[in-house]
Amino acid sequence: MILIRASRYLYCILSHLQDTGIVTTTRITHATPAAMYAHTAERDWECFLDLQRAEEDLSESVANKTHEIAWQLINEAPGKNLKVMLGGGKSAFKPKVPEERFDYDSGYAWNCSSQGRNFIDEFTNASSQNQFVETMSELMAIDADQTDRLLGLFNDYHLLYDHERAEKSIPEYQDSPSLANMTRKAIEMLKKNTEHGFVLLVEGGRIDHAHHGTYANRYNSIFRFHKKIRSGFSLVEH
């Protein structure tokens, strides 16, 4: 369960005018990033399809009592006040249901959609200074000084493991950002607030997934995590 008090803590941060951001290698609606902005009774209610599935299981209406996590990120405080949101899980923000895929980390099939709404368009239409990116090239091209809020969703699902990103022969993997890429851009965005500072959550969530799945060959993400964080922190002036 995602605790309400976690979001209330973030409210306190935002009320003191600190800019706030999230960087993760998981879906942006996954448990750890969602704890920064969502109020929900179930961590798996990431998109509208999840609410529908819950109604089938519970035999009662859920959608008229709560909003899915993706909706809350775009439409409800504190999510709608975040300055930087970078991760995966793009399908939860799009109206088209993607092809179902098996989640080897959880052991069940997963797909998601936003019940006909396009939350990405809603985000960019809200302000000319709201920018959406979905590739590393687009992310690196963002001018932080000309951007107020940045949403980056780089995969329909979680982001790739590091060793998968190295497979340059696979087209969809060639322009996927690393955790270091995302962290550096997030700090570029957030350090503009020189008066009040910023808060940035950085999660190497695929490390956790590799442990769950006992994927020994994917543990190299652990050893790269420290290097990536140090790379990002080098942008912060002390």
Number of domain units in the chain: 1
CATH number of the domain enclosing 71: 3.40.720.10
The answer to whether residue 104 sits within a structural domain is yes
Closest to 92 in 3D by CA, of 69, 64, 108, 122? 69
pLDDT score at 231? 59
pLDDT per residue as tens, the chain (238 positions): 334 445 555 555 554 568 999 999 999 999 999 999 998 888 888 887 777 777 666 655 565 667 889 999 999 999 999 999 999 999 889 887 656 554 555 444 556 766 778 999 999 999 999 999 999 999 999 999 999 999 999 988 888 877 666 665 566 666 889 899 999 999 999 999 888 889 999 988 777 766 666 665 555 555 555 555 565 656 665 5
The answer to whether residue 228 sits within a structural domain is yes
| Gap between the Cα atoms of 9 and 180, Å rounded | 26
The answer to whether residue 238 sits within a structural domain is no
The answer to whether residue 32 sits within a structural domain is yes
The residues, ordered by sequence, that sit 6+ positions from 184 with a Cβ below 8 Å of its Cβ are 231, 232, 235
The answer to whether residue 70 sits within a structural domain is yes
The answer to whether residue 207 sits within a structural domain is yes
The answer to whether residue 217 sits within a structural domain is yes
Domain extent, residue 36, equals: 4-233
pTM (predicted TM-score): 0.79
The answer to whether residue 9 sits within a structural domain is yes
